[in-house]
Amino acid sequence: MSRRVVFVRNTLAVMLAAVVGGSYVYFRGADLPSAHAAPVNAPLAAANAGPAAPVVATATDFSGIVQRAGPAVVNISVTGKARKMADDNDDGDPDDPFSQFFKRFGPQLQIPRQPQIMHGLGSGFIISPDGVILTNAHVVDGAQEVVVKLTDRREFKAKVLGVDKQSDIAVIRIDARNLPTVQIGDPSVVKVGEPVLAIGSPYGFDNTATAGIVSAKSRSLPDDNYVPFLQTDVAVNPGNSGGPLFNLKGEVIGINSQIYSQTGGFQGLSFAIPIDVAMKVERQLAQHGKVTRGRLGVSVQDLNQALSESFGLKNAQGALISSVEKGGPADKAGLQAGDVILSFNGHAIDHSVDLPTLVADTPPGTSKPLQVMRGGKVLTIDVKVGEMKVAGNDAPVGKAENQGRLGLAVRPLDPAERKQLGGQNGLLVEDANGPAAIAGIQSGDVILALNGTPVTSVEQLRKLAGQAGKSVALLVERGDEKIFVPLALN
């Protein structure tokens, strides 16, 4: 027999064995005995018994959750103006919500160098039948118009009741009744590895469902010291921001807020704000119109094995104080750099992120006990919690700037400008907000007339706008062109 024939026969035998063996492995997890299966010979089964079968993960069907909770998830579209240009090395204006929107939730697009109208998309979910909706602060903060679209295709203009930039939570409301709502869950009982579902509007595709698992809990992210994030591998993209994260019971356990990405798209790392954090913020905004947080005035860091051994700790647990603010609550209580905070008000501190969260939830002015490791000894120190001051953080938003019904800041033309325009009068636009910005009016435009009446002074323009109905037509000169621009007034 030739070598070629032997090689072919051996090759076919190996292939057949591989196919049979592969089929066995593939069906092993699914080929389980049913109630109607024939009885198995006990001695034979015992003789063939091997190691215990491995745990087999099966696909999870989220269709019931999508059907039940999907109608309570909304699409949010916002309109505003980018106030500051960005270059390749610019992180964006921290006071510009649209800069922060793209910074947080990609893609990393260039913000125009001239003030222009920016349109953003996000998600949210209804928590009250009378139209109260939760979303991210960076989605709606500073927006001049917020439109909410339901799954039944109804659209409503929303009022922003309040934003809390510190936690990135916003509360908005639409004028509607008997709306579907989500069920609120408990993120403290969520386990790493547990399946979760996100519903939102990535890139504007309404009510898109994506699923994954909880990858980690209590993640601390840069510039977000007061949120113990849930990390997941759920596919989250621009437009998902502000949407809900569900557990297998169909309860909301988080708000999708951020992704880690080098491309602007999903790369397997997404972060959600625990829903209990969001609900605390919602209650404070609803009751007081702002969020009040406690503070100690310390900077803390996690402990590793080397640090824990050097400070006489058996385990790398607690919050190591790296600095103490002079004159702050911690300084007045006698806390020092190098102290390790083991517990706050009876709550053990496992990671350093646990401390700011507990302190923030404490009413300012109250005294709480801390267990501190100092010099190998455990001390109990009472600290009077102070109040965190964050400029412009918890104030209700949505108030139009004081620029009249048009939303324009204008001034008369100077002689040189009038000469450049052929001697005609008009008003130069220095800034545009509200209706004017939405209509496309830009800085540098010249307003020549309102509803056919030439304008020559700011007072005249304001008077004409005040006498107008719900809309006006502005005659605008831009460059070498004159165009009529319709405005829907406030």
Query: Is-catalytic flag, 138?
Result: yes
Both tokens assigned to 364:
């300012």
SS3 at position 7: helix
Q: Strand 224-232 and strand 453-454: pairing? A: unpaired
Q: Which of 250, 248, 219 is nearest to 232 (CA)?
A: 219
CA torsion 325→330→336→340, rounded to 10°? -120
Select from 477, 293, 296, 480 the least CA-distant residue to 383.
296
Beta bridge partners of 274: 254
* Spacing of C-alpha 3 from chain mean position: 67
Q: Which residues pair with residue 270 across a beta bridge? A: 232, 259
Among residues 113, 144, 120, the alpha carbon closest in space to that of 443 is found at 113
Helix (H, G, I), strand (E, B) or coil at 487: strand
Note if 168 is an active site residue: yes
Report the distance separating Cα 246 and Cα 62, nearest Å: 10
How far apart are the C-alpha atoms of 3 and 236, rounded to whole Å? Answer: 57
List the catalytic residue out of 96, 141, 164, 168: 168
How far apart are the C-alpha atoms of 242 and 258, rounded to whole Å? 9
Q: Tell me which of 241, 257, 308, 352 is the catalytic residue.
A: 241
Other CB atoms within 10 Å distance of the CB of residue 288: 11
- 332, with CB counted inside 10 A (0-12, 13-18, 19+), is middle
CA 240 – CA 135 distance, rounded (Å):
10
Which candidate in 138, 141, 257, 270 is catalytic? 138
Instruction: Quote the tokens at residue 121.
Output: 């998309």
Question: What residues contact residue 223 under an 8 Å CB cut-off, 6+ apart?
Answer: none
Distance CA 1, CA 3 (A): 7
Q: Which residue has the tokens 């800041």?
A: 409
Hey, what are 299's tokens?
């900077």
Q: What is the DSSP annotation of 328-385?
A: SHHHHHT--TT-EEEEETTEE-SSTTHHHHHHHTSPTT-EEEEEEEETTEEEEEEEE-
Element containing residue 10 per DSSP (H, E): helix 3-28
Classify burial at 134, counting beta carbons within 10 Å of its beta carbon; exposed 0-12, middle 13-18, buried 19 or more: buried
Query: Are 195 and 248 contacting, i.e. CB atoms less than 8 angstroms apart?
Result: yes
State yes or no: is 63 an active-site residue. Answer: no
At 18 the three-state DSSP class reads helix
Would you name the residues annotated as active-site residues?
138, 168, 241
